[in-house]
Amino acid sequence: SIFTLIKTISTQQNMQGVDAEMETFYTYTQVEGISMPSSIEVKEGSNTAYKMTFDELKINEELSDDLFEKPSN
């Protein structure tokens, strides 16, 4: 696997409604020859706002039609 780290900086309103500089870090890995993000971390200053890490990445996985049926409730 090949890992690539990408960082973006943007200004967004935080939960208090104040403009804050946000840094987003993307870690990419190769899956079947395609670069896909394996983790995404957003920081406000030194605090991590949130982090998502994907345990498994699949491409063109066969899915059952049952997954797309409207729930009975």
Nearest to 27 by CA among 62, 52, 49, 58: 52
pLDDT tens sequence across 3-59 = 677 888 888 887 788 888 888 999 988 889 898 999 999 998 888 988 999 999 999
- Per-residue DSSP letters for the chain? ---EEEEEEEEEE-TTS-EEEEEEEEEEEEETTEEEEEEEEEEETTEEEEEEE-S---SS----GGGGSPP--
Output the pTM of the full model. Answer: 0.67
Token pair, residue 6, equals 């990408």
